[in-house]
Chains A and B, each alone.
Chain A
Amino acid sequence: MARIGVFVCHCGENIAGRVDCSKVVLALENHPGVSVATEYKYFCSDPGQEAIKKAVREENLTGVIVAACSPRMHEATFRKACAAAGLNPYLCEIANIREQCSWVHENPDEATRKAIEITRSLVEKVKRNSELHPIEVPVTKRALVIGGGIAGIQAALDIANAGGEVVLVEREASLGGHMAQLSETFPTLDCSQCIMTPRMVEASQHPNIRLLTYSEVEKVEGFIGNFRVRVRLKARYVDPAACTGCGDCMQKCPQKKIPSEFDCGLGKRTAISTPFAQAVPNKPVIDSRYCTYFKNGKCKVCEKVCQTNAINFEMEDEFLDLEIGAIVVATGFQVQDTALYGEYGYGRYADVVTGLQFERLASASGPTAGKVQRPSDGAEPKTVVFIQCAGSRDPAKGVPYCSKICCMYTAKHAMLYAHKNHEAESRIFYMDIRAAGKGYDEFTRRAAEEDNAGYIRGRVSKLWEENGRLVVRGADTLLGRPVEVQADMVVLATAMVPQPDARELAKKLGIGCDDYGFFSEAHMKLRPVETATAGIFLAGACQSPKDIPDSVAQASAAASKVLSLFSRERLEREPVIARNNEATCSGCWGCVLACPFNAIEKKDLTDRSGNVLRRVASVNAGLCQGCGTCVTFCRSNSIDLAGFSEKQLFAEVMGL
C-alpha cells in the first residue's frame, strides 16, 4: 500500500499569496494512498526539511511530494532530506506550484485548482516510482591520448605531471605532428623545433607516459572509466629496444629517392628512415612499400650494417589491449588536397607550393637548409605571391569555413622571407585579414609596414606560366580593377581540413563529427572539450582549425577534465537510465540506431549449453544518459526509462 506524504509549501507569500494552500492540503488529504498532507511556510528551510524527515520516519512514507518551487530549484534538496530520513531519494517528486502556477496566474481560485491538479497527478506518478540507486562505476586511472602533435603531447604531459598514467598513441614513427614541420611560429617568430623538441623528449621520457609510436587505435569498447582499447602496433621491422639510433642503416639503404612526407615531397628519404632528424623516438622504421627486400626479395643491406642486430624482416603487426579510463582525441588536421585548385596551377607548376611546403623551405632543418629556393630550379625567388583562402571560405570546394590560421601564417611567411632575402617582394591576395588574437593584429600590420608585404584585396582567377615566370591574375576589389603580378613562386594558403579517416575514428570511438569531419564537442559554448560520449575529450585541430596556443589551451582543458575524473575512485551516475525487457524485445535495433549516445548494445541470449537463442538490446549503464529516445521508438514497449517509466507517466497523465 502506498503511503504518500504531501508537503505544500507557502514559500512565504510567493505561493500562499495566490494559492490557497490549506485547500490543496484538504484536497490531497483524502486522495487514495496519501497518508499525510501538511503545509508549511518554507519547506526548504531547516525546520521545513526536519518536518519532512520526521513525517517520513513516523508515517513510514513510501513516497513524498513536495508542492513547492520548480524541481530545478530544490529537487536535490528535498531528495537529500528524504534520503537522510531513510527514504530512497528517487521516491520524492516535486509539484511545481510556484514558477508554473502561483507566479503566472492571477485568479486565486484558478491557481488553487491548478495546484491541486498538478499535485494530484504527481501523487499518481510517485506511487509508481521505484527505488533507484546511483550507478557506481569504477575508474581506471589511465588515459589514452590519440595523436602525438602538440595538442596530444600537452594533454599527455599535463595528465602525467599530475600523477595520471598515460598511453600516448601516435600513428607516425615520431611524435611532433604539424608543429614539428613548421619553421618559425607566429606571433613571436620563435623557432618551432626549438620549442617543440624538448616537449617531445619530455613526453617520451616521462615515467608516467607510455609512448606507442607507429601505432593506431583499432577498437574501442566500454564506457567512461572503463574503456577497453585495442591498439595496433604496426610492424616497424626494427626492434626499438635494440636500435641505438645510430643511423648507419639509413646511410646505406639503396632506396634514396623516396619523396619525404615530412618535407611535403620537397626532400628525399630512404626506405628505412626516421621521419626527420630530430624524431622522437629517434629510431627508424622500414617502409615496406618502398623497401627493395620487400619488393624484390633481395637486399637486407640494413640488416648487414646494423651493429646491434635490430633489424627483423619477420616482424608482424602486434596488438595491445589496454584498460583505459578516459580518452583524449588529438588527431589534428591535414592541409587540403590542393589538386582541387586547377585555377592555381598546383601540381602543374613546380613553383606553386602550399604553405606547409613553404614552412619546409624556410626551415633550417628543411631540404634547403632554410634557404627559400624555388623547387623548379633552386633559384632564389625575388617576387613571391601568396594566395590566402586557397580553399577556405569556398562552399563550392566543400570548405565554407575559415581555416583561422592562414592570415597569420601568410603574414609570417612574408616576414620570414623578407628577413631571409632583403630584396624580396611579396604580394598577398586576401579576402579579409582575420587576425584576432593576442598580438596578432600587430603582427600582420608589421608584415605590411615593416616587412614590405603588399596586400591586395581580391581573389585570384587565373595563374599561368610565361617565360619561366608565373603570372597571377586577380582582381583588386579595393581599387576595382584587375591586377596581374609576375612571380617567381606562388604560395597557397590551403585550407585546414579534417584527417581523411576522422569519420572512421569517430565511429570507432562513438563520437560525432560535424558536416566537414571535425569532431563534435558536446556543447559549442559550455562543453567545448567534451564529446557527447562521457569520458572522451577533444584537443587541438581535430575539433576545428586552431593555432598552437589554442591547441595547447584546449589540450590542458581536456587534461583537467581527465584529471577531475581521475580524482575519484568511483563514478556515481544518475540512475535515470534505460532498461530493456529481454523477454519482449524483438531485436529490431531501432533503439540502437536512435540512441544519441550509442549506449545500446546487442546481447546474445543463450541456452544452458551456450547456443544463441536470440539477440536482444541491452543498455550499457555507463553510457546511457537517460534521454528516453529509445523508449519512444520501441513499438513493443520493451525498453523503458527508470525515473520516467511508462507506468509512471501513464499514471501521471491519467491523474490529470
Chain B
Amino acid sequence: MSLQEHYRSQARELLAAGAVKMVVGYAEGTTPERRRPVFITEPEECSRLVLDARCRTNLAGYLLREGLLSDGREIAVYLSTEGVRTINILAAESQLSSAQVRILGFEIDRDEVKAMEGKRAADFSEAILAHKERRKKQAPDELAAKLEAMNAAERFTFWQGEFSRCIKCYACRQACPMCWCRRCVVDNNQPQWVNTSSHTLGNLEWNLVRAFHLAGRCVECGNCGRACPVDIPLHLLNRKMTGEVLEAFDHYPGMDEHQEPALASFRKDDPETFIL
C-alpha cells in the first residue's frame, strides 16, 4: 500500500472511531503541480487526501485557527519534521497542547514521500535530532553564499532591490505558523514602530522585524517564501537567523515541547565576540 493510501485509511479510522474530530491534510490543487490544505471531518471524504512530494506546505499553523482546539478534542494532521518541530514550538509557547495533535508523519526525500513513525510530537525526537546534526553541517545555498561573499554595500543594494518589491500584503505572516500573535507589531500604531508607508524603508523594517521575531523559532518550512507574491527570498533571512542561533546558542528550534525560547533564555557563557 502506498503511504497515501495508508494514511487515508488511518485518517478514515481515526475519524470513524471519533478519535479525532478533523484531519488536516493535503488535497489536489487548482493545477496538477499544486497541493492545497483540506480540513476533513467525515470518514468518507478521506479519499480526497493526497500525499506526494508536492506536499510542501507546513500545515501546523492551521491548528491555531481561533477556537479550533478549544474543545480539547484531537485533530490529526499531516506533518513533516518541520511540522512536528512547529508543534513543539507552539506547545513550548503555550499556543496548543501537543496531546491534542495526532501526527501523520512523512518526509520528502527528493521526489519520494516516506513515512515517519510516531503519533505524538514527542515520538519524533530522534528524527529531529538527526535534522539538527545535519543542519549543523549544512552549507549555505548558492544565493546565500553569494550574499555572504558580497561586501556590506552590495548586500544592502541586493536587499534594497528585493524589499522595494514588497507590497506589505503580509502573506508571509499569514503563512508562517509562528506568526500567531494576537496583534502583530506592525498593527500596533501606538507607537508605529514599523513604518507602514509603502516605501522600501518600511518594507525593510518590516522584513527585518519579522526575521528577528523568528530567530530561534523558524523551522525553515518555507511557507513564507512560497506565499510571497513577489518572490522575495525570505528564506535567506530566516535561514541566516537559524544558523546564527544554532551556532551561537546551540539552539535548534522545536527540539521538544519544553525547549526554552532562545531569546527568553540565556547562558552566562554565551559567546559575545562582537561586543566591545
The distance from the CB of A590 to the nearest CB of chain B, in whole angstroms, is 4
Stretch at the interface among A174-182, A315-323, A329-337, A634-642: A634-642
B190: CB under 8 A from chain A?
Answer: yes
Contact A646 B193 (CB under 8 A): yes
Stretch at the interface among A450-458, A498-506, A580-588: A580-588
Interface flags, A604-633, vs B, CB<8A=1, else 0: 000000000001000000000000000001
Complex CA gap A590/B263 in Å reads 8
Contact A647 B184 (CB under 8 A): no
Contact B183 A587 (CB under 8 A): no
Interface flags, B164-194, vs A, CB<8A=1, else 0: 0000000000000000111111001011110
B233: CB under 8 A from chain A?
Answer: no
Contact B184 A636 (CB under 8 A): yes
Complex CA gap A593/B266 in Å reads 10
Contact A635 B261 (CB under 8 A): no
Chain B at the A interface: SS class: loop
Query: Closest residue to B210 on the A side, CB-wise?
Result: A635
Determine which residue in A583, A590, A633, A647 has the highest number of CB atoms from chain B within 10 A of its CB, and name it: A590
Contact A637 B265 (CB under 8 A): no
Contact B191 A646 (CB under 8 A): yes
Contact A589 B93 (CB under 8 A): yes
Complex CA gap A594/B216 in Å reads 15
User: Contacts of A588 on B, CB cut-off 8 Å?
Assistant: 93-95, 261
A103: CB under 8 A from chain B?
Answer: no
Identify which of B94, B95, B185, B260 contacts A637 (C-beta below 8 A): B185
Contact B94 A587 (CB under 8 A): yes
User: Contacts of B188 on A, CB cut-off 8 Å?
Assistant: 584, 636-637
The distance from the CB of A565 to the nearest CB of chain B, in whole angstroms, is 30
User: Contacts of B261 on A, CB cut-off 8 Å?
Assistant: 588, 590, 593
Contact A584 B183 (CB under 8 A): yes
Query: Closest residue to B266 on the A side, CB-wise?
Result: A594
Complex CA gap A650/B205 in Å reads 15
A305: CB under 8 A from chain B?
Answer: no
The distance from the CB of A586 to the nearest CB of chain B, in whole angstroms, is 5
Complex CA gap A465/B269 in Å reads 45
User: Contacts of A584 on B, CB cut-off 8 Å?
Assistant: 181-183, 188
Identify which of A586, A593, A647 contacts B260 (C-beta below 8 A): A593
A651: CB under 8 A from chain B?
Answer: yes
The distance from the CB of B100 to the nearest CB of chain A, in whole angstroms, is 16
Contact A651 B93 (CB under 8 A): no
The distance from the CB of A122 to the nearest CB of chain B, in whole angstroms, is 16
B213: CB under 8 A from chain A?
Answer: yes
Contact A636 B181 (CB under 8 A): yes
Query: Closest residue to B190 on the A side, CB-wise?
Result: A647
User: Contacts of B190 on A, CB cut-off 8 Å?
Assistant: 646-647
> Given A635-B213, A647-B190, are A593 and B265 also a contact pair (CB < 8 Å)?
yes
User: Contacts of B180 on A, CB cut-off 8 Å?
Assistant: 586
Query: Closest residue to A646 on the B side, CB-wise?
Result: B191
> Given A646-B191, A647-B191, are A633 and B94 also a contact pair (CB < 8 Å)?
no
The distance from the CB of A520 to the nearest CB of chain B, in whole angstroms, is 12
User: Contacts of B191 on A, CB cut-off 8 Å?
Assistant: 646-647, 650-651
> Given A588-B93, A646-B193, are A638 and B183 also a contact pair (CB < 8 Å)?
yes
Query: Closest residue to A629 on the B side, CB-wise?
Result: B264
Contact B193 A636 (CB under 8 A): no
Complex CA gap A304/B182 in Å reads 68
> Given A650-B193, A651-B191, are A589 and B94 also a contact pair (CB < 8 Å)?
yes
Complex CA gap A338/B251 in Å reads 37
The distance from the CB of B92 to the nearest CB of chain A, in whole angstroms, is 9
Complex CA gap A112/B105 in Å reads 67
User: Contacts of A590 on B, CB cut-off 8 Å?
Assistant: 93, 261, 263-264
Q: B214-264: which residues lie under 8 A (CB-CB) from chain A?
A: 260-261, 263-264
User: Contacts of A593 on B, CB cut-off 8 Å?
Assistant: 260-261, 264-265
The distance from the CB of A376 to the nearest CB of chain B, in whole angstroms, is 47
User: Contacts of A636 on B, CB cut-off 8 Å?
Assistant: 181-185, 188
The distance from the CB of B51 to the nearest CB of chain A, in whole angstroms, is 32
Complex CA gap A651/B191 in Å reads 8
The distance from the CB of A587 to the nearest CB of chain B, in whole angstroms, is 6
Determine which residue in B94, B188, B190, B264 has the highest number of CB atoms from chain A within 10 A of its CB, and name it: B264
Complex CA gap A196/B190 in Å reads 63
User: Contacts of B193 on A, CB cut-off 8 Å?
Assistant: 637, 646, 650
The distance from the CB of B189 to the nearest CB of chain A, in whole angstroms, is 10
User: Contacts of A586 on B, CB cut-off 8 Å?
Assistant: 95, 180-182
Interface flags, B75-93, vs A, CB<8A=1, else 0: 0000000000000000001
Complex CA gap A126/B180 in Å reads 34
Identify which of B95, B182, B184, B264 contacts A633 (C-beta below 8 A): B264
User: Contacts of A638 on B, CB cut-off 8 Å?
Assistant: 182-183
User: Contacts of A651 on B, CB cut-off 8 Å?
Assistant: 191
Identify which of A583, A633, A647 contacts B263 (C-beta below 8 A): A633
The distance from the CB of B63 to the nearest CB of chain A, in whole angstroms, is 15
User: Contacts of B181 on A, CB cut-off 8 Å?
Assistant: 584, 586, 635-636
The distance from the CB of A610 to the nearest CB of chain B, in whole angstroms, is 16
User: Contacts of B93 on A, CB cut-off 8 Å?
Assistant: 588-590
Complex CA gap A217/B263 in Å reads 33
Query: Closest residue to A612 on the B side, CB-wise?
Result: B70
Query: Closest residue to B261 on the A side, CB-wise?
Result: A590
User: Contacts of A646 on B, CB cut-off 8 Å?
Assistant: 190-191, 193
Q: B197-223: which residues lie under 8 A (CB-CB) from chain A?
A: 213
Determine which residue in B95, B191, B193, B261 has the highest number of CB atoms from chain A within 10 A of its CB, and name it: B191
Determine which residue in A586, A589, A633, A638 has the highest number of CB atoms from chain B within 10 A of its CB, and name it: A586
The distance from the CB of A609 to the nearest CB of chain B, in whole angstroms, is 16
The distance from the CB of B69 to the nearest CB of chain A, in whole angstroms, is 12
Complex CA gap A651/B193 in Å reads 10
Identify which of A583, A635, A650 contacts B185 (C-beta below 8 A): A635
The distance from the CB of B216 to the nearest CB of chain A, in whole angstroms, is 11
Complex CA gap A10/B188 in Å reads 41
Complex CA gap A635/B188 in Å reads 11
User: Contacts of B182 on A, CB cut-off 8 Å?
Assistant: 583-586, 636, 638
Q: Could you pull out 27 A-B pairs where Cβ atoms are within 8 angstroms?
A: A583-B183, A584-B181, A584-B182, A584-B183, A584-B188, A585-B182, A586-B180, A586-B181, A586-B182, A587-B94, A588-B93, A588-B94, A588-B95, A589-B93, A590-B261, A593-B260, A594-B263, A594-B264, A594-B265, A633-B264, A635-B185, A636-B181, A636-B185, A637-B183, A638-B182, A646-B191, A647-B190
> What residues make up the interface of B, taking CB atoms closer than 8 Å to A?
93-95, 180-185, 188, 190-193, 213, 260-261, 263-265
Known: A585-B182, A635-B181, A637-B188. 17 other contacts (CB 8 A): A583-B182, A584-B181, A584-B182, A584-B188, A588-B94, A588-B95, A589-B94, A590-B261, A590-B263, A590-B264, A593-B260, A635-B213, A636-B184, A638-B183, A646-B191, A650-B193, A651-B191
**7 nearest A-B residue pairs (beta carbon):** A650-B191, A636-B181, A584-B183, A590-B264, A593-B264, A588-B93, A594-B264
